[in-house]
Amino acid sequence: MPVLRAALCLLCSVLLPFSGARAEAISLTPEQLQQDLRFIQAELARIHPDPGHSVSKTELDEALAAMPAKLQQPLDAGQAWAALATLNPLFADAHLALIPADWRAQTRRHLDAGGSLFPFEVVLNAAGELRIRAELGGRPSALAGARIETINGLPRQQIVQAMLARAHGDSAEFRAHLLGKRFWLFYRLLYGTPSSYQLALEKHGTTLRLQRAGSSQLPAWLQDEDSFARQYQFQLLPGRAALLTAHTFFWEDKARFYAFTEAAFRQMQTAGTQTLLIDVRENGGGDDDMWREGLLKYFAHQPWRWASGYRKKVIEGRQSPTEPLGAVIDAELGSWVQPQPDHPLRFHGQVYALVGRGTYSSAVLFSNVLQDFGFAKLVGSGSYARARQSGGLQSRTLPHSRLGLGVPRFILQRPAGARGAALVQPDILLADDPLEPKQLIDALLAKLAAEAPLPADTAQSDSKNAKSH
């Protein structure tokens, strides 16, 4: 298969620069690597209810059969990831992936020990275009928008291709977006952490060449995860509109999130807000009760459920006399949630959910419910993630390389069932530049203002003027 062949060809070119990139490298024997591969195969068979949900059985079997030939030499854990992670694009499911062990903590330890990382936050699209977004950590950069052409003499296409061959996610666009946010991680894994970077950039038709030292700043992704203020924002907008941003549906102190949304709906009630925008473009998911209790209860107007049915694998600890270990079960989801029409902060206006390349997992379930039950219209770009989401993620650690393996144990059918689109499809398609996220908000508000009916007195005046002519 073309994807598999490209990934395997890239493997040989990456192993050389990878070696020596980390002081903590430990050599693994070919037999240990083969045991890790067998562990992956066994856990897939034991946990996943239907790998065909995202990858054809033929392609998967071919990829797994070809992998032992790539594990015939001693490799360190990082090189093992570079080899095994070529399965990630083939899996085509962000819940099914091989990831570096404990990469968040490793990144922090690397920086605390005086190490550095690639100095920019970037955005990447499926076509391989790599642009600077900000300084690493999120501080504005004068180079924002510049296209990266080479890094330390290597063409951008070569670097991006090697990274995309190991990225996980449902679609090429989804994988590119996720990789852009973790570019500093993938660069370190594949090319090490040089003290400086020689860059060739293109901006406004001009080629720029510069040398930048590696950055000791904590990447924005990790900073965001620790900051409530960076994950959740609310503001009243002109024209009796409001914007509520939720970059995640995971927060350990859920009471704080519920207090935040309650305060937001109270402000909207006081201000007479008529249009609510909920921005989940960068929301990678979390817990369903966050949006159930924190958002939907304020504007859902009919009974709803987050899925119409499911397929699940019965795993150890979840078996019963009616559901034996290893069984694959298909069933309808019979649990419905009732609306709260008498809630004192009930919102009666129009709701629009902004979705994008980063909307995933529980945030996709939220989007499905909004769309399938008519609670809101989805706005933005689509065709990047499956509306029929996998879930029940089981995390495992490979015995020798200690790489992380995630495998889902169930697959949900969206509330609309087979009638719904296979991929997330917005009701209102609008361009969404990741370098200028506010443009989508402005474009939607302008569109709504242009489509708004004229006030009754204005309409009557216009009618009289038309008759007089």
Residue type, 369: V
How far apart are the C-alpha atoms of 395 and 406, rounded to whole Å? 5
> With a cut of 50, which residues of the chain have pLDDT below it?
1-24, 458-459, 461-469
Whole-angstrom CA distances from 412 to 29, 64, 223, 375, 433 are 40, 26, 32, 20, 30
How far apart are the C-alpha atoms of 191 and 344, rounded to whole Å? 56
How far apart are the C-alpha atoms of 157 and 207, rounded to whole Å? 17
DSSP letter string over 304-352? B-S-SEEEEE--TTS--SSS-TT-EEEEE----B---TT-TT---SEEE
Place of tokens 């065909």: 52
The 10s digit of each residue's pLDDT in 363-411 is: 999 999 999 999 999 999 878 999 999 999 999 999 999 999 999 999 9
Q: What is the 3-state secondary structure (H, E, C) of 77-122?
A: HHHHHHHHHHHHHHHCCCCCEEECCCHHHHHHHHHHCCCCECCEEE
**8 A C-beta contact, residue 87 and residue 403:** no
Q: How many CB atoms lie within 10 A of CB 153?
A: 7
Record the pTM: 0.90
Residues paired with residue 215 on neighbouring β-strands, in sequence order = 117
Burial class (CB in 10 A: 0-12, 13-18, 19+), 379: buried
Tokens matching residue 226: 């620790």
Residue type, 291: W
Tokens matching residue 461: 């005046």
Residues 6+ apart with CB under 8 A from 315: 46, 47, 325, 394, 409
Tokens matching residue 413: 């059918």
Report the candidate in 393, 401, 333, 396 with the shortest Cα–Cα distance to residue 368.
Answer: 333
**8 A C-beta contact, residue 179 and residue 124:** yes
Residue type, 391: G
The sign one gets for the Cα dihedral 361, 362, 364, 365 is positive
Q: How many CB atoms lie within 10 A of CB 261?
A: 21
First vs last Cα of the chain: how many Å apart?
Answer: 69
Length in residues, the chain: 469
The sign one gets for the Cα dihedral 58, 61, 62, 63 is positive
pLDDT score of 300: 98
Question: Sheet of 428-429: strands edge to edge?
Answer: 232-237, 241-246, 275-279, 350-355, 377-380, 428-429
Residues paired with residue 212 on neighbouring β-strands, in sequence order = 197
Residues 6+ apart with CB under 8 A from 12: none
How far apart are the C-alpha atoms of 422 and 414, rounded to whole Å? 9
How far apart are the C-alpha atoms of 127 and 432, rounded to whole Å? 16
**8 A C-beta contact, residue 325 and residue 319:** yes
**8 A C-beta contact, residue 217 and residue 254:** no
